Amino acid sequence: MPRPLRVFVRIVEGFNRFVGRIAMYLIFVLIGILLWSSISKAVFVPSLWTLEMAQFTMVAYYIIGGPYSIQLGSNVRMDLFYGGWSDRQKAWFDAFTVLFLMFFLVTMFIGGVSSTAYSLGHYGTEPFAFFKDLFVGFVTGGMTGAEEVLGRLERSPTAWRPYLWPIKAVICIGLILMILQALVELVKDIARIRGEEI
């Protein structure tokens, strides 16, 4: 395989490994939130924020840890036929099926960007143009320039009413990392088909 592809694989896998190992500790944050929820319901006045914060933490844990899970091969597979195949047959099958995964992830990312733009007050049909304008406004005018582009920020309809853009941004970041990891898996599959290892 060409050297730039090897470098790409090393950089993406190294970054996803780093992020995934940090994301693993979000499970302890989730446990702490749920423990506080139980204690506050039994002893104090129940906290309004615990259920939604637990949901946000679980989403971040799942979506940010996903690329590392793909890298480790710990995703669920149906091994009815796959387990008996040769490494080359597995590589052909994986190279074919990863294209479906990438299509799904890109579709999810486009929807995530649109949803994030909506949560920042953009109600039009061009979310990527909105983020370009937001970036240009921030670079040229700082927070004041960015505030001119932002609209009414979306909030959750619950009693706690947190802003939704942070978790939507986390989802978009996680999807970008998963798309990059899927590309890495495609490169590794092609290398295995050619009889090389990366």
- The closest alpha carbon to 186, from 31, 16, 54, 1, belongs to 1
CB-based contact 153:168 (threshold 8 Å): no
Q: For the purposes of burial, counting CB atoms within 10 Å of the CB of 94, is it exposed (0-12), middle (13-18) or buried (19 or more)?
A: buried
How far apart are alpha carbons 33 and 130 in whole angstroms? 35
pTM of the model: 0.90
The per-residue pLDDT for range 130-151, each reduced to its tens digit, is: 999 999 988 998 888 888 889 8
Mean pLDDT, range 99-126, rounded to an integer: 95
Q: How high is the pLDDT of residue 76?
A: 72
Using the structure block, give the residue that is written with the tokens 């295995």: 192
Phi, psi of 25 (to 5 degrees): -75, -10
Estimate to the nearest angstrom the gap between the alpha carbon of 41 and the chain centroid. 32
- The closest alpha carbon to 183, from 2, 13, 1, belongs to 13
Q: How high is the pLDDT of residue 70?
A: 92
More confident call, 26 vs 144: 26
